[in-house]
Amino acid sequence: MKLTYEDYTRRFGTSRVTEEEFPMLSFEASRIMAVHTTGIDGYRKLELAFPLIPYDAETVIMCACRIVDLLWQIHTAEETARTVRGVQETGNGVRGKAITSMSAGNESLSFESSATAGGTAIDKAVADSTAQKVLFREIVDTYLQGITDAHGVNLLYMGAYPRELREDV
């Protein structure tokens, strides 16, 4: 499946994702979707039997768009975390983060992070790859549950693809 920038912007309107960022994010989104739609035999349903029913095809594209958007949020949060060490943005501007621990010998200082302060799901995903996988899986399940490929096989079916339906044999 190849998601285009035009597909993305048509569905999401004015996009936060720039045209320069899009190729990397769409590749990652396609890879995430492939992991969740490729059965144990390696048959890549989205590449080899993309849905023909318009509703199903649109749902797959929307799923990819949502994953691109989530990837952008995670990448943006990671960049912010790298550049804003020791400060926290609030509605009233930037303030120092709360100090969570301090040591006198060899001067150690720890600041509160969004994740430790009960932050958003994105904050948790930045700090934990398992949390990222959960968010991606939730999107894939929400959009692709009950959606079938060109041969009527459920995209989330992880068993061996029916041999008589395979186009690559």
- pLDDT tens, position by position, 104-123: 566 665 555 544 445 565 66
pTM here?
0.73
Q: How far apart are CA 144 and CA 11, in angstroms?
A: 17
How do the domains of the chain map onto residue ranges?
5-86+95-165
pLDDT value of residue 64 = 96
- pLDDT tens, position by position, 119-144: 565 666 566 778 889 999 999 999 99
- Complete DSSP assignment for 80-128: HHHH-TTEEEETTEEEEPPEEEEETTTTEEEE--TTTTT--HHHHHHH-
- pLDDT tens, position by position, 43-56: 999 999 999 999 99
Exposed e or buried b for every residue in 136-159, given b needs 16+ CB within 10 A? beebbeebbeebbbbbebebbbee
Helix pair angle (54-83, 5-12), 10° resolution: 90
